Structure 1
Amino acid sequence: MAARHEEIAEELRQAIDRGEYPVGGTLPTESELAARYEVSRGTVRQAVAALTSEGRIGSRQGARRVVLGNRRSQSFAELRSFAQWAHAMGRVATGHVIEQHRRAATEEDAERLLITPGDAVLQVLRLRGLDGEPVLVERNVYPLWMAEAVERIPVDTESVVQALYQDIGIIFAYGEHIIDAVAAGTQDADLLGIRRGGPLLRIRRVTTTHAGRPIEWSDDRYRSGTVSFAIANSIGSNQLVRHAG
């Protein structure tokens, strides 16, 4: 028989999956949950800790816990968060910053981040692993207002999304993604341990706050055979748009 905190954690998972607590929304307080389930706050903390470890919710000292993703569908938060996806699959995610530096924004940076060409930005090259194997090369560009917070993140942090939420309360609320295939260049091939010219799945994205302020733009490249994406759509709600190469 499952322990009470495990039962509560599962009920909360199902509530998140049903959309009762949407991504970006908050859970009830510990006191409210304790009263609802007629248990101690300690039992509630155990249930919430399980959801936090799975990457479903974010935890900040003294703040309401924010929902970061669900398992019912491939939400935006799950699509962009490698660590969260890995946890949901029962896998171990790793990350390591290869290099990062500030530079002047290019025309492309300016267009995606809504800044002026030449403004300072922070560029980060990060290698991601899954169960000890390198699977993803991330190239992120952040506007100057995000730079100091990103630079404070340890180079081997598992989840950048969680780290930024805990540090400055940033929620990655919206995103636009373009998915295509590219051939591996020399740097990608060396980092991922594949041959130069091998196929990579590329996802280019721009993420913003709830208010629409750009947080980052990124070029992510996955090693072939390591991940796939499913997109659900209907006649009433279709967010899938084809782009010519």
Structure 2
Amino acid sequence: MRDASGKTPIWQAIADALRSDLAERRYGPGDKLPTEAALAERFGVNRHTVRHGISALVDEGLVRTRRGSGAYVAAPPTDYPLGRRVRFHENLIAAGRSPAKRVLLVEERSATDGEARALDLPPGDLVCAYHGLSLADGQPVALFESIFPLARLPGISAAFKATASVTEALRVAGVADYTRASTRVTAVRASATQALHLQLTEGDPLLRTSGVNVDEAGVPVEFGRTWFAGDRVTLTLEGLGV
């Protein structure tokens, strides 16, 4: 792209230089780019020109920005299959990514009406609510909330003090295996707090899934809701009614 004088615009030259940095792996997926001030110093321009160059990379999907935090190298979306046997760690390892979970909150409370219906509980029954953040290669990809019926799963809350794994916590509570009975997928916008956790901008697109897992006898043991960063995960459906 050249202007009327035949010269490459400075913002385009900055975008080209940063694109080369990414191609040569000077900055990898999830890495934060230097600040606008640092890049302005590097290229000898003002911050507005730097911002224009970065915007071009955002439009190409190479970089993402977070208000108040800066610009980050975008990672390629991770394939995440939603089959009858949904396992976070297994799915990401199969995709060649390194999985991790961060526990945000574990609480015992009364079930909401919707949770009680999903878990086939009497209204107001006690549940364990597990809130967490899922990461791939250290980058946040999803927020989740998992709801477990306390009467059916004694010890589930205590189990989450020792493990972030739902599968392991269910095993401790007596559930040797479980499968997905139903899944629903909806497109939503990120709230301010969701954007903060996922390193997004408020209003960015999310994919929200909700589903019920059952034990080997078909009894509901988990009602889960997950909010995936829309540009970091590709959901694939395998043999599910949604």
**Fold match (TM-score > 0.5):** yes
Q: Name whichever of 147-156 and 103-112 sits farther off.
A: 147-156
Shift of 1:97: 0.9
Partner AA of 2:90 in structure 1: Q
Residues 74 and 182 of structure 1: CA distance in aligned 2, closer, same or farther (over 3 Å): closer
Q: Is the CA contact (8 Å cut-off) linking 1:110 and 1:116 kept in structure 2?
A: yes
Gaps of 5+ in 2: 1-80
Residues 197 and 156 of structure 1: CA distance in aligned 2, closer, same or farther (over 3 Å): farther
Residues 232 and 176 of structure 1: CA distance in aligned 2, closer, same or farther (over 3 Å): closer
Instruction: Tell me which residue corresponds to 1:133.
Output: 139
Determine which structure has the larger strand proportion and give its number: 2
Instruction: Tell me which residue corresponds to 1:212.
Output: 218
Instruction: Tell me which residue corresponds to 1:200.
Output: 206
Shift of 1:122: 1.0
Q: Is the CA contact (8 Å cut-off) linking 1:174 and 1:209 kept in structure 2?
A: no
* Alignment RMSD (CA, Å): 2.2
Q: Distance in 1 between matches of 2:210 and 2:143?
A: 12
Q: Distance in 1 between matches of 2:190 and 2:162?
A: 24
Mapping 1:137-156, distance limit 5 Å: 137-144=143-150, 145-146=152-153, 148-154=155-161
Instruction: Tell me which residue corresponds to 2:193.
Output: 187
Q: Which runs of 4+ in 1 moved over 4 A?
A: none
Of residues 94, 102, 105, the one that matches 1:99 is 105
Q: Distance in 1 between matches of 2:97 and 2:233?
A: 12
Say which SS state the counterpart of residue 100 (structure 1) adopts. Answer: strand
Q: Distance in 1 between matches of 2:238 and 2:93?
A: 22
Of residues 73, 84, 88, the one that matches 1:76 is 84
Q: Is the CA contact (8 Å cut-off) linking 1:94 and 1:156 kept in structure 2?
A: no
Instruction: Tell me which residue corresponds to 1:45.
Output: none
Mapping 1:17-166, distance limit 5 Å: 75-77=83-85, 80-144=86-150, 145-146=152-153, 148-154=155-161, 157=164, 159-165=165-171
Q: What's the TM-score once normalised by structure 1's chain length?
A: 0.60
Identity of aligned residues (%): 26
Q: Which has the larger radius of gyration?
A: 2
Determine which structure has the larger helix proportion and give its number: 1
- Tell me the number of residue pairs that the alignment of Structure 1 and Structure 2 aligns: 161
